[in-house]
Structure formats: C-alpha cells, structure tokens
Structure 1
Amino acid sequence: MKKSVDNAIAASIGQLPQARQSHVVVTEGDRSLPVLIENAGAAARFAWEEFIYGKIRNPHTRAAYERAIRRFLVHCEALNKELPTVSPRDVGSYLDEQDYAPATKKLHLSAIRHFFDTLVTRHVIMLNPAHSVRGERLQVVEGKTPEITIAQARKLVQSLDTNHVVGLRDRAIITIMIYTAARVGAVAALRRGDFYDLGDQHCLRFSEKGGKSREIPVRHDLQKFVGDYLSAGGTEYADKSKPLFRTTVRKTKKLTQNPMTAGDMARMVKRRMKDAGLPSRLSPHSFRVTTITDLLSQGVPLEDVQNLAGHADPRTTRLYDRRKRKVTRNIVERISV
C-alpha cells in the first residue's frame, strides 16, 4: 500500500514515466496538479498556487509542505473523497497510519491545516477539516544534534594540512562555523564583500533563515585564517559579488569560480572529521551546539548567546545547551549496581 502511495505521489510531481501518469493532469511548466485539486475547479487551482508558490517563501519549507499535502491528497483520492467531503476523521486516520516521528507528523498536520485554511479563504470548501485535529504531544527539551567537544574541535582544526589553498579554505570554513555559530548554509552564502574591515575590526555579514542579515565581529585568529585563505587563493581583491569560498578542480588544488554549496561544505566537514578520527555522527551543526554550550557554561547571558546564534526565541537557544546532559551523566555514573 505504501509503495503504491509513493508511486502516486511521484506521478503527481512528474517523476514516473509518462505511461504511468495518464490519470494526472499536467499544468504549465510540466508541473502537475493533484487530482483532487484539478477536479475541484479554478478556485482550488488558484488556492494551490497561492499557497505553495505565493505564501511560502523558504524553498525548504515549500518542498516539505508540498510533499506532505500531496501525500495527504493521494490518501484522500484513494478513499474516493473530493475536497468538500474531507473530514476531520480523514485527517486523523491519515496521521495515525503514518509511520513518522511525532515531529514529522506535526509538520504534516501543519501543512494540511494551513493549506485547507487557504481553500476556505478561496471558498473552495466551507470548513477546515484539519482545524480541530490535534497533533501528538511533543516536548523537546534538548536538540538531537550531537555535540563536538572542545578537544575534538581543536583536534580537527590542528589536523588540517594548511600548506595549500584547499587546507586553508577548509580551515577558514570550519573556524567560521566555530567562532560565529553560523549555520553551514549561511557560510556557503557568503560573498567576498561579506568579509570586510570596519577600521577597528573585521566583520562577517551573514544572510540567514527568515531573510535575516546579521553582522558578526571576527576575532583575530579567525581574521588571520580567512586572510591566509584569500591570499593563497589570489582572491583578496576579488569582486565583492563573487563567492567567498570556491570549489576546486578535482584534486588539482586550484580554485574555480564556482561557489561551494552547503552540501559541498557538509561533505568536506565529514571527510575532515573522518581523517581526524572523529565520530561519524558529528556534522557541521555540531559546531553550533558546542559554541552555544561553551558560552553558556562560561556564564555569558542567554540573551547575548541568543543574539549570536540568531534565534528569535530564547527557547530555541536552550535546545542547543548540553550542560544538563553532563549533569545527567554524572548522576548515572554514581549508580552503585
């Protein structure tokens, strides 16, 4: 059953051969509409495009919400439902059938609820069937991202071969994530003009989630690491619109004009960690956890750490705090059995 649903979803977004898409109506740009949306008329089609392409600006959120809504609509199609006849029971039973983690189920419910709100606004349906459906209780006390210890982070940085531009580049990337708590996506988006001198100090300007732009001062050792990379790569005076961190031509250790993506940086960090003998479960986001925990452990006010991390809510910053985990381990070690 799950395989057939997956195939139906794949067909609805144009990923199956044409012979298996005969029941799907394709719209402009070879983008297909879910069958229930197409059958519901022009207002439903407008609501679909308004919600997916108009209201959601973040591409990752858009992809996740579209996937969730398409899956639910395929489920309703299998039940011979039309949009006006979808009920809270259909939404609840759909969520019960899914073998997802609670957080993923909450995401699916949020996507369905917001989409049906748009259908109500556009007078496609009268009531939102997801409005009264409750999600599973989920209380996140601590994030799941594994922490890299201070010793491990130092070992990683010291293990890098900085006798060539690639090593200098990778050291600059890793230390930026450590000393600014920036997300790997924000580091990948840096342009040459985002590293600049204010006269008394250098700064980095990050473009982050939610359209935020943040300026973070650069400490002296990080300034040197970035400067060494720029000097070795001959990009000290490059155009400000050019990428700060560039890919290389295979193993030639020569920089290209192409920017490193967040995926490129994540794979680089994984390779470097493996070479340094560090646990494979660590990731670029582990640096963010370590930096936040370290500053809180030193007594830096939560508000200041929150500003560095770029969190809108201090509760999000607390999810990165691993101090409680250390206390728990200490208690566990004292068990006498």
Structure 2
Amino acid sequence: MQKGRSEILTPSTAGTKLTEHAVPKIIAAHGEAGRWCWEEYFGGRIRNANTRKTYLHAVRNFLHWCDTEGVPLQEISPGMVGRYFDLHPGSTPTKKLHMSAIRGLFDVLVQRHVMILNPALSVRTERYSVTEGKTPEITVEQSRQLLKSIELQSAIDFRDRAIISMLVYTAARVGAVAKLRLGDLVDEGNHLMIKFREKGGKDRSIPARISLREELDEYLVMLPINGSSKDDPVFRSAVGRTGLLTESPMSAIDICRMVKRRLKAAGLPLSASPHSFRSCTATDLLEQGISLEDVQYLLGHSDSRVTRLYDRRQRKITRNIVERISV
C-alpha cells in the first residue's frame, strides 16, 4: 500500500514507527489526564502481556490513522470509527479484537472525563460465527508417527520427545508447557502430577500417564546438575547444534519451531502446530465415548462450546458423505 493520509499501518510498520512506551500525541494533547488514562488502561487494567501487546498495536494503529486524518481526540465520531474498520485489511475476528481494544480505551477516557461519549460503542463489525476451530488438524496416526520418528541420540532428542508427549497426553497449551518449572512436577507416589499455569491465571493439575512419566524421567536425568532447583525450567534451550542443554528455558516460540522441525523430519504436513495436539486429543477422547464435560475439563475450557470447536468428528462425517455422491 502506498503512503497516504488514510494509510492503516501493518503490525511491522506500526512496530517501527510507533514506540511501545510513548503516549501517542493525540492522547498526550490532553495532558496529565490523557497520560493517566493511557497508563491505567495498558499498565493497570490489562494484565496479560500478550493481550497488552495486541491491544497496543490495535489502538496505536487507530490513533495514528486519526492523527493522519487531522482529527483530534474529541472530534472522533462513530462514523469515523466505522470508516476506519471499512478500510481495515484484517479478517473479521481481527477486526473484532481491534474494536474491543479501541472501545476499552475510550471507556477509560469517558470514565476519567477526558471524553464525553465513547464513539466506538455503537459501531458494529461484521457478524462472525464459528462451528469448528481453525487449528490445523493432526491425526492420532500422524502423532504416533511423529513420536516414533525421533531417534534418541542426544539430550535434545529426549527433550523433544517429552515435550511432544506432554502436548499430546495433557492437551496443555504450548505457553503453559514452556512455563513449567521442576517444582511443578509433583511426585505423589503412585503417580506424577503436573501443575500448569494456563492463560487467564488458571492453575491446573493433570496426572501424567505412565508413558509420559517414563519419558520425563529419561529426559530429566540429562539436565545440568547445577540447574535442578524447583524454580529451574523443565524444558531447556540448546547450545547451538551441540546437542547440549543450557540452564535457560525454551520459549513457546522455541517449542513451535521445534515441532515444525520434527514434523518436517518425519515427512508430515507442516501446517500442524503445537495447538493441533489439543484438537487431536479432544477428538480422540470424544470418539472413544468420553463425555464432553470430561474433555472440557482436560482442556481447561470454561464453556463447552469452545471444546466443541476442537471436535473434528463432524469433519470426518462430512468427508464420508461427499465420497458417497454418485455423480
């Protein structure tokens, strides 16, 4: 897109043109009251770091667009907000997320009497309905193939197998797996409990099946001796291509990249991700007759409708139906 007064920044250009901590001048123009609202919203009300980053990008992008249009904060109207989203290049879910971020900031500005009304309150985005999740699918057979493809020659191999097994057998989110500390692995005698810190501040304990516990034991004995306190990370990064482990934790991005490498080495579709294992596990359990409520509890969903998005049984039924068309 060529530069113009109504240009909407992409995430990359927004990140380079707009610093993370500076208060946008359209807000700073209202002095300490504006700065207070900005800090209250992003520094006080939004506690999740990922949400804060996403909301910051959305709000900065919108305020930058208003600034290029030459419209001060007090003159932003519902029509302007609607026109902005008419120009917005994102998908419907992205637009809804960005609208939520913008409405939230305006709510704070109204509450602190910087603005009289919230101009985004009455603006509607497109309707969006989801009956099946968009997480790329990986089947039970493919998951087995992936685990079998790992040749156990170094500590990295034992680590990667343990991570993938944990994603499969606990249905935990990749972020929760990356946050695990040694103190989160609690030996209760006849079984091992794994304590996950999930998004939304939820703490969940999931028992490790026997095979997962064995794989964890085989991996943990390879950790550096000086990195064995309860606050040390379970899954460690590697020293280049040496096959040696460091004392630093793997990030969620590190785990995603590892899964992609392992998928490629196993000759499996690269569209799958760590989140695909949650869908695989949910569908597998539901096919075996496990109740939706039990699967919902395992996945940590507060609403069963979210759990249904992970159920890919209907997709298989659809495939069977279309194959029977006689044309």
Tell me the TM-score normalized by structure 2.
0.94
List per-residue Cα deviations over 1:51-79 (Å, max 9, x = no partner). 01111011111111111111111121122
- Residue from 174, 192, 196 that aligns with 1:206: 196
Matching residue of 1:51: 41
Matching residue of 1:305: 295
> Does 1:167 pair with 2:157?
yes
Contact 1:40–1:82 (CA under 8 A) maintained in structure 2: no
| Distance in 2 of aligned mates of 1:283 and 1:334 | 31
Matching residue of 2:286: 296
| Paired positions, count | 325
> Does 1:222 pair with 2:212?
yes
Map 1:35-50 to 2 at 5 A: 35-50=25-40
List per-residue Cα deviations over 1:284-325 (Å, max 9, x = no partner). 111111001111111111111111101111111111111111
AA matched with 1:185: G
AA matched with 1:62: R
State the superposition RMSD in angstroms: 2.1
How far did residue 232 of structure 1 move? 3.1
List per-residue Cα deviations over 1:120-179 (Å, max 9, x = no partner). 001011111111111210001111111111110000000101132111111000000000
Contact 2:150–2:157 (CA under 8 A) maintained in structure 1: yes
- Residue from 125, 146, 154 that aligns with 1:156: 146
The unaligned stretches of length 5 or more in structure 1 are: none
How far did residue 10 of structure 1 move? 7.6
How far did residue 9 of structure 1 move? 8.7
Matching residue of 1:232: 222
Matching residue of 2:125: 135
Give % identity.
51
Label 1:186 to 1:203 Cα distance change in 2 as closer, same or farther (>3 A): same
SS of residue in 2 equivalent to 1:256: strand
AA matched with 1:327: I
> Does 1:270 pair with 2:260?
yes
Contact 1:188–1:259 (CA under 8 A) maintained in structure 2: yes
Structure with larger RCO (C-alpha < 8 A, sep 6+): 2
> Does 1:60 pair with 2:50?
yes
Contact 2:26–2:72 (CA under 8 A) maintained in structure 1: yes
Map 1:55-134 to 2 at 5 A: 55-134=45-124
The unaligned stretches of length 5 or more in structure 2 are: none
AA matched with 1:247: S
Does 55-64 or 159-168 show the bigger shift? 159-168
| Distance in 2 of aligned mates of 1:187 and 1:53 | 26
- Residue from 248, 260, 265 that aligns with 1:258: 248
Does 299-308 or 220-229 show the bigger shift? 299-308
Label 1:209 to 1:301 Cα distance change in 2 as closer, same or farther (>3 A): same
Label 1:236 to 1:150 Cα distance change in 2 as closer, same or farther (>3 A): farther
SS of residue in 1 equivalent to 2:130: coil
AA matched with 2:304: P
> Does 1:243 pair with 2:233?
yes
| Distance in 2 of aligned mates of 1:226 and 1:129 | 53
Contact 1:9–1:74 (CA under 8 A) maintained in structure 2: no
